[in-house]
Amino acid sequence: MRILSRHFLASYLTLFAVILVASIASVATLEMLINFDEIFGRETGWHGALTHLVLRVPSYYLRDLLPVASFGAAFFCLAIPARRHEFTAIKAGGISPIRAALPVLLAAGTLSLAAFITNETLVLEAFREWQRFESGDEVVEYRRGTFWYRRGNVIYNVGTANHETRILEHVMLLEIGPRGRLLRSTRAHEVYIDDDDRWHFRRATLRTFDPDDPARPPRVEFESEAILEVGSHRDTALLGANAATLSLPELSEFIELREQEGRTTAAFVAIFHSRLAAPLTVFIFALIAIPLGLAVERTQSFAASAVTGMAWVGLYYVGRGAIGVLTPQGPSITAPAPWLLLACFTGIGVWRLTRIAR
């Protein structure tokens, strides 16, 4: 039995590595073809193109490629011997097909832990570096629930940002004079950065200080909407000030501080739980793939089982996408949603595995 276990274990891990590398290469090729003008239109030439691929592929695709590779590896490492009737001999030796596939499940569980570590180190750092690469290598620092950024004599403090809508929330700007004294502070509930990099402040409070008389009260102005020429194209790095760049401990702190301030946290709770639950798909996809691979012994068809498997995988991603629709409903829904989805597909995998073992 040990020899058989080592055989399936080695087969699963080898196929996992091969499928993962092939998937990364395929995604990189598609990324290069789809965004050819953007990649090679940079002044940095081939170095910039390579940097684009090295950062974008892991930051945007690796989280999903790991479970897909696990599914493919688990399916083929069992489907190929099933097609050759090797499981007939295994069962004749008194060994259950589920027992023979157990090393694959154990390996998938270990890879789930590895995926969690990879997502919170390699993927997260690649995403941060991608944000810096896109913004001209400018660094946005996270400190105690907000994001900080300095350029020249202006210090920016941002609660959060939405890169798609180009909106910054809970913004504070501090303009410092040559002697290090505060010249002006600007606070706004919301700032919109237009395509010309102009900053549109909404519900802004401007305080102007006299650097020659620090004890003098500032002049206070209230503006329902104001356009200030404080930003430049490089300052759009602040649009990368979002919770997706935070580690899970930082994200937990971010959510807690926003809750204490009475701000909405549903979207950030959804990000937290989806990232926490995502690595488990490496195990669950393997669990779904195993009975499909074993079924090839009966059907003698890779295609039928593979199409069924792709349908289940596609259904999972449709369900995960639907969770985003629930985000506005609040943390009471968004927190358990990823776990309920995983529990549902775990149940499907266990049910199909028990049926194939009969």
pLDDT digits (tens, 9 = 90+) for 288-315: 999 999 988 888 888 888 899 999 999 9
Look up residue 98 and give its DSSP letter. Answer: H
Cα(73)–Cα(165) distance, integer angstroms:
39
| Torsion of Cα atoms, 307 then 309 then 312 then 317, to 10° | -90
Q: How confident is the model at residue 107 (pLDDT cuts 50, 70, 90)?
A: very high
Output 277 or 153, whichever has higher pLDDT.
Answer: 277
Tokens read off for 82: 């099933």
Q: What is the pLDDT of residue 114?
A: 96
Cα(246)–Cα(350) distance, integer angstroms:
34
Output 53 or 289, whichever has higher pLDDT.
Answer: 289
- Could you report the per-residue pLDDT of 280-295, keeping only the tens digit for each? 999 999 999 999 999 8
Q: How confident is the model at residue 109 (pLDDT cuts 50, 70, 90)?
A: very high
Res 328 pLDDT > 60: no
Q: What is the pLDDT of residue 224?
A: 76
Q: How confident is the model at residue 270 (pLDDT cuts 50, 70, 90)?
A: confident
Cα(338)–Cα(330) distance, integer angstroms:
14
Q: How confident is the model at residue 9 (pLDDT cuts 50, 70, 90)?
A: very high
Cα(178)–Cα(34) distance, integer angstroms:
47
Q: Are strands 199-208 and 182-193 parallel, antiparallel or unpaired?
A: antiparallel
CA distances from 242 to 128, 162, 188, 260 (A): 10, 7, 17, 19
Q: What is the pLDDT of residue 263?
A: 73
Query: Residue written as tokens 């200080």?
Result: 209
Q: What is the pLDDT of residue 37?
A: 67
CA distances from 239 to 12, 53, 189, 270, 288 (A): 41, 21, 15, 20, 39
Tokens read off for 104: 């694959």
Output 262 or 230, whichever has higher pLDDT.
Answer: 262
Q: Could you tell me which of 352, 292, 353, 312 has the C-alpha nearest to residue 76? A: 292
Percentage of residues of the chain with pLDDT beyond 70: 86
Mean pLDDT score across all residues of the chain: 82
Q: What is the pLDDT of residue 63?
A: 92
